[in-house]
């Protein structure tokens, strides 16, 4: 029988409602799942199914004046839902890293990549500026970014979407968080960069034992990466299973529908890629 200690992240009885003039409107309800150490859990469903609402709840990013969030969310056994904003800011980035769908939204346009990377490191570690810069360069090299010293002097708009996504992955991994939440990390990228990003995430998982909550509407992406899969529809979990069981023996009609229409990351002329070789 599984114990709570096996889970890095545990979500229990999560209910999220938005406050409107007419009252409370439910966005997600009865959400229960866990993410184990060093494993990738895929959270899949169509747009509006509640995937991003769930991730925002875990990160405690909702305005409490507009949203009503109930339930328990624990990270390494620590309850997050009762923490103050300052305590959550210390956890975000250090213990939980977040990779956004659109990398341009993750950066402030008026500051260089280097300034933002170094300040992120300094805010969570005792490292001095020179040490933080050296760590940033090392991490950018690890995600195959060319001339990181030069790139650090650039502004976000000077980098392509694929390069910005790799910078964001480097920032997410540099503090070796317990878990990375990746919300549609490949959606805005072309096929080449999609595969590259998935390889890099897999490399981080293998190298640091980092758990990953991979949020996607694309079962092709989930098939590449996930160990376990959670399927959401209209704010509820409709199926949860090991990735092989889910793909080979889907139980819910909605899951079967997603599997029928799923795209593939591999064009027919391209051999299957071994993510472990990243």
Which tokens sit at 223? Answer: 């098939």
CB atoms within 10 A of CB 206: 13
**79 and 9 together in one domain:** yes
Whether residue 248 is contained in a domain is answered as: yes
The confidence score (pLDDT) of residue 54 equals 95
Q: What are phi and psi of 238, to 5 degrees?
A: -105, -20
Residue 106 domain flag: no
Cα angle 197-201-203, degrees, rounded to a multiple of 5: 115
Q: Tell me, yes or no, whether 35 and 47 share the same domain.
A: yes
- CA angle (160 as vertex; 53, 195 as ends), nearest 5: 65
E strand or H helix at 103, and its extent? none
Q: Is 44 inside any structural domain?
A: yes
Q: Are residues 88 and 146 part of one domain?
A: no
The CATH number covering residue 54 comes to 3.40.50.300
Report which of 257, 204, 267, 198 is spatially closest to residue 42, judged by C-alpha positions.
Answer: 198
**Does the residue 84 lie in any domain?**
yes
Asked whether residue 182 is assigned to any structural domain, the reply reads: yes
What's the full length of the chain, in residues? 278
Q: Which residues of the chain have pLDDT under 50?
A: 1-4, 266-278
Query: Is 54 found in the same domain as 124?
Result: no
Task: Give the range of the structural domain holding residue 133, as residue numbers without chain letter.
Answer: 112-176
Give yes or no: residues 46 and 77 share one domain: yes
d(CA 160, CA 180): 22
**pLDDT attached to residue 265:** 52
**Domain identity same for 244 and 196:** yes
Number of domains in the chain: 2
Q: Identify the burial level of 96 via C-beta atoms within 10 angstroms of its C-beta, where 0-12 means exposed, 13-18 middle and 19 or more buried.
A: buried
What pLDDT sits at residue 273? Answer: 42
For residue 264, what pLDDT is reported?
58
Of 176, 204, 231, the residue at which a domain comes to its end is 176
CB 122 within 8 A of CB 129: yes
Does a structural domain hold residue 104? no
Out of 176, 193, 218, a domain closes at 176
- Structural contact between residues 168 and 184, judged by C-beta atoms closer than 8 angstroms: no
In a domain, 244, yes or no: yes
Same domain, 183 and 170: no
Same domain, 225 and 272: yes
Please report whether residue 107 resides in a domain. no
Residue 164 and residue 207 in one domain = no
| Residues in contact with 63: Cβ distance below 8 Å, sequence separation at least 6, in sequence order | none
Which residue, 2, 20, 28, 168, is CA-closest to 98?
168
Segment 169-200, tens digit of pLDDT: 999 999 999 999 999 888 878 888 888 888 88
Residue 80 shares a structural domain with residue 198: yes
Which of 159, 176, 193 lies at the terminal end of a domain, its last residue? 176
Nearest to 187 by CA among 211, 205, 214, 206: 214
Q: Indicate whether 53 and 125 sit together in one domain.
A: no
As a whole number of angstroms, the distance between CA 29 and CA 237 comes to 9
Do 208 and 268 lie in one domain? The reply is: yes
3-class DSSP assignment, residue 23: strand
Given a contact cutoff of 8 angstroms between Cβ atoms, the answer to whether 80 and 60 are in contact is yes
pLDDT for position 125: 92
């Amino acid at each position: 029988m599984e114990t709570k200690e096996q889970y890095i992240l545990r979500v229990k009885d999560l209910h999220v409602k938005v406050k409107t003039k007419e009252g409370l409107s439910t966005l997600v309800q009865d959400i229960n799942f866990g993410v184990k150490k060093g494993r990738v859990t895929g959270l899949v469903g169509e747009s509006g199914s509640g995937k991003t609402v769930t991730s925002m709840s875990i990160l405690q990013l909702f305005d409490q004046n507009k949203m009503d969030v109930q339930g328990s969310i624990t990270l390494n056994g620590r309850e997050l839902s009762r923490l103050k904003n300052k305590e959550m800011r210390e956890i975000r980035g250090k213990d939980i890293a977040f990779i956004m769908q659109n990398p341009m939204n993750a950066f402030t346009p008026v500051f260089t990549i280097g300034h933002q990377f170094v300040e992120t490191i300094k805010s969570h570690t005792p490292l001095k500026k020179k040490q933080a810069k050296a760590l940033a360069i090392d991490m950018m090299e690890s995600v195959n970014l060319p001339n990181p010293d030069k790139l650090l002097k650039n502004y976000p708009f000077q980098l392509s979407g694929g390069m910005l996504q790799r910078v964001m992955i480097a920032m997410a991994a540099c503090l070796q968080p317990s878990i990375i939440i990746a919300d549609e990390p490949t959606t805005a990228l072309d096929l080449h960069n999609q595969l590259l990003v998935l390889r890099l995430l897999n490399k981080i998982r293998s190298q640091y034992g980092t758990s990953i909550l991979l949020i996607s509407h694309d079962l092709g992406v989930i098939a590449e990466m996930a160990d376990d899969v959670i399927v959401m529809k209209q704010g509820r979990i409709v199926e949860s299973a090991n990735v092989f069981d889910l793909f080979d023996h889907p139980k819910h009609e909605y899951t079967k529908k997603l599997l029928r229409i799923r795209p593939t990351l591999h064009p027919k002329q391209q051999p299957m890629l071994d993510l472990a070789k990243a």
